Amino acid sequence: MQKDPSFVDTQMKAEPETVKNRIEKLRRTIEYHNHQYYVLDDPEISDAEYDRLFKELIQLEESFPEHDDPDSPTKKIGGPPVPAFYPRTHSIPMYSLDNCFSLDEVASFISRIEKQISGSVPEFWVEPKLDGLAVEVIFEKGRYSAACTRGDGTTGEDVTANIRTVKNLPLRLVETADLPDYLEVRGEVVIPKTKFEELNTFKTQSGQKPFANPRNAAAGSVRQLDPTVTASRPLYFFAYGIGLVRFKNKDTWNRQSRIIEALNIMGIATVPTGRICRNTDELRVFFDELTRLRLDNPFDMDGLVIKVNDLSLQSQLGYTAKAPRWAIALKFPAMQEKTRLINISVQVGRTGVLTPVAQLEPVNVGGVTVSRATLHNEDEIRSKDLKIGDMVLVQRAGDVIPSVVKPLTDERTGRERDFIFPVNCPSCNSPVIRLENEAAWRCLNLSCPARLEQGLIHFAGRKGLDIEGLGKKWVSILVRKGLVCKLTDIFRLQKTDLLSLERMGEKSAQNLLDSIAAGAKKTTLARIINGLGIRHVGEQTSKDLASRFKDLDELAAAEQGQLLTVDGIGPEIASSIINFFRNPENLDLIRDFKILGIWPVNEPALPKDLALKNKKFIFTGSLSRFSRSRAKELVEELGGKVVGSVSRNVDLVVAGDSPGSKLDKAKELNLRIITEDEFLDIVKPSDH
């Protein structure tokens, strides 16, 4: 901004202390009016008056840089572009929520809780579920310090510079009696629906691609490399909870409702209209109320979140691998719109299942343009009496997944036609079969390009061998070019093979080969089992199998009785595993792993009863002998569990190099703290 010369000359004559006082007063005044406008929606001054104050503060700060403050409201206009977003690990995992779609399911959720906490009658904190980007904002001694996205729940992207620009987020908290020394606030970054429409109109008029919905707009705005772009977007932050907290004095936050109250007092906007509900009747009233008001709400919301209010009960209930047991999201009934079913295509998945997909005339359903929807299988098409050319009713289940509800038979003209399910695979032309008691048609050709492509994407993915750089694009190219005809072919790729591909240079080829070699070297038995894509066998079941069987040969030879002794495996999963290894081509694949030397072995070093059974571990600081994920696997293999937050329930705290705040908390609670070497002595892994 260009300075007003007369303004600068006048101020330069002022006493330094007077200038400093004026700057501080302006900052406090602007912060107050920001809170009135963005948080309380109750402005007390005109936009022109606010702009005058803001301009004065900018000119003073430019004229007297010795009074610069990173927490000044002028910093919300954004700084210089950042080169990239760096990973940032959460102190406590940011779990996702389990979903339900009816009040009957909520009643079952409450019943499960009451059984686990017999003798207690829980009350619940209930609030709207805003549809935005989940982020964590960190304050140290009341000042904004950092921010990161949720990411995979363990590690997110550092977006400190961008979140600083969010209009309703204070950079300094209001001083209160229980203001923490360190506070991680979790919430949702959202864009008002009206501002989203304005933003999309601007992008369209500028020749840019519009955002699909407000959530995508919020996520895209936060992930801008140039913070000034983020600052120009109408972003809001609403808190719904906390991560790690360290208090100056005694912790008084013993209820979810108390947390929300405290955050509000400190100046942090929380999800609006939250309330305490004591039973399903009160939940039903609130749910019906929000359902009626959802379209009038200024922000997109797709349901409500129900949380046990008492934090001690939350701690007692704990977590599954993915979500808290003390919270659940109740989704709104799906929004529905009418459109035409243009055609039905068939996709082939990694297990060979042929899935029909509806090709629709694009239609806006609850703010999202829908042009495709899965039809699941042939029986669904028949039971719904769908015909190509029908006008159909389309909905988004949970406001997310598009589906075809039914045809509008009254609008048929006679030109509609039946869909004939293919008798040959659309990818490899092999005959397809429908197994007894199954609704799905399958291609059994293991060399089918579509099966191989999807299987390799899964095999190389994060939960498989985690091969960096081998994404969908390159997998598709390698399969189409015939360079990969089975999973293990990726380990036989040569640089000359890769250099023959378009847009693959010398450095890129070497990087990919190095990543494949690293993936092979670091893999575990659990990762290979998961990567094979055995039907009904996911990440957790793969870990359970890897803790029971020595190697792939032992697993392949396992009988049903042996498999049923593994936790979580029933007759259906056991049969699926047995059938997989009965297939001669799959056994050839297993032999190929051994020939290639990709053969992780699990050598149990402990008695059968598992020495760490029910023991809870927490890690802080960096480990030098192995990765954090490998350390977690070692604990789980021996029956233990790795948790994210420090509490009295933790049995062992493993402190690596440069431990963080978790160590201080562990010392306060007098928990047992061990070194990495002591941890190594406990687990005695075969690969250290």
In this prediction, residue 603 carries a pLDDT of 59
Give the tens place of pLDDT for each residue, 263-291.
999 999 999 999 999 999 999 999 999 98
Alpha helices in 146-247 (DSSP H): 160-163, 193-205, 214-222, 227-232
Q: Is residue 639 a contact partner of residue 605, using CB atoms and an 8 Å limit?
A: no
CA pair distance 373, 386, nearest whole angstrom: 13
Q: How confident is the model at residue 123 (pLDDT cuts 50, 70, 90)?
A: very high
Lowest mean pLDDT among 293-307, 386-400, 460-474: 386-400
495 is catalytic: no
Q: Is residue 163 a contact partner of residue 188, using CB atoms and an 8 Å limit?
A: no
Average pLDDT over residues 85-113: 90
Q: How confident is the model at residue 43 (pLDDT cuts 50, 70, 90)?
A: low
In this prediction, residue 439 carries a pLDDT of 81
Q: Is residue 247 a contact partner of residue 94, using CB atoms and an 8 Å limit?
A: no
Give the tens place of pLDDT for each residue, 135-178.
999 999 999 999 999 988 888 899 999 999 998 999 999 988 88
Q: Take residue 468 and report the two structure tokens written for it.
A: 């960096």
Average pLDDT over residues 580-587: 84
Please determine, for residue 399, whether its predicted confidence score (pLDDT) is greater than 60.
Answer: no
CA pair distance 638, 623, nearest whole angstrom: 19
In this prediction, residue 8 carries a pLDDT of 40
CA pair distance 370, 224, nearest whole angstrom: 26
In this prediction, residue 659 carries a pLDDT of 81
In this prediction, residue 271 carries a pLDDT of 95
Indicate the length of the chain as a whole number: 688
Give the tens place of pLDDT for each residue, 509-520.
999 999 999 999
* Structural domains of the chain, with CATH: 5-77 (1.10.287.610), 99-331 (3.30.470.30), 334-444 (2.40.50.140), 449-522 (1.10.150.20), 525-596 (1.10.150.20), 616-683 (3.40.50.10190)
Stronger pLDDT, 343 or 70, i.e. the higher one = 343
In this prediction, residue 608 carries a pLDDT of 44
Beta bridge partners of residue 674, listed in sequence order: 654
In this prediction, residue 47 carries a pLDDT of 61
Q: How confident is the model at residue 688 (pLDDT cuts 50, 70, 90)?
A: very low
| Residue found by looking up tokens 């363990």 in the block | 154
Q: How confident is the model at residue 311 (pLDDT cuts 50, 70, 90)?
A: very high
| Residue found by looking up tokens 């989203």 in the block | 196
In this prediction, residue 324 carries a pLDDT of 92
- What's the mean pLDDT when you consider all of the chain? 85
Q: Take residue 336 and report the two structure tokens written for it.
A: 């529905």
Average pLDDT over residues 123-145: 95
Question: Which residues are CB-contacts of 351 (< 8 A; sequence separation ≥ 6)?
Answer: 442, 451, 533, 535
Please determine, for residue 492, whether its predicted confidence score (pLDDT) is greater than 90.
Answer: yes
Lowest mean pLDDT among 243-252, 300-309, 339-348, 417-426: 243-252
In the 8-state DSSP scheme, what is residue 301?
E
Residue of 3, 13, 20, 129 with catalytic role:
129
Stronger pLDDT, 299 or 72, i.e. the higher one = 299
Average pLDDT over residues 497-523: 91
Give the tens place of pLDDT for each residue, 411-424.
999 999 999 999 99
Q: How confident is the model at residue 76 (pLDDT cuts 50, 70, 90)?
A: low
Q: How confident is the model at residue 610 (pLDDT cuts 50, 70, 90)?
A: low
In this prediction, residue 17 carries a pLDDT of 57
In this prediction, residue 10 carries a pLDDT of 43
Instruction: Give the distance from CA 153 to its chain's centroid.
Output: 6
In this prediction, residue 199 carries a pLDDT of 87
Per-residue CA distances from 25 to 6, 20, 30, 67, 511 (Å): 21, 9, 9, 13, 55
Average pLDDT over residues 408-413: 94
Q: Take residue 487 and report the two structure tokens written for it.
A: 């999973």
Lowest mean pLDDT among 14-28, 135-149, 669-683: 14-28
In the 8-state DSSP scheme, what is residue 85?
P
Give the tens place of pLDDT for each residue, 428-471.
888 888 877 778 898 877 678 898 998 899 899 888 888 988 98
The percentage of the chain sitting over the pLDDT mark of 70, rounded to a whole number, equals: 91
Question: Which residues are CB-contacts of 76 (< 8 A; sequence separation ≥ 6)?
Answer: 164, 165, 166, 167, 171, 231
Average pLDDT over residues 520-537: 89
Stronger pLDDT, 384 or 659, i.e. the higher one = 384
Please determine, for residue 15, whether its predicted confidence score (pLDDT) is greater than 60.
Answer: no
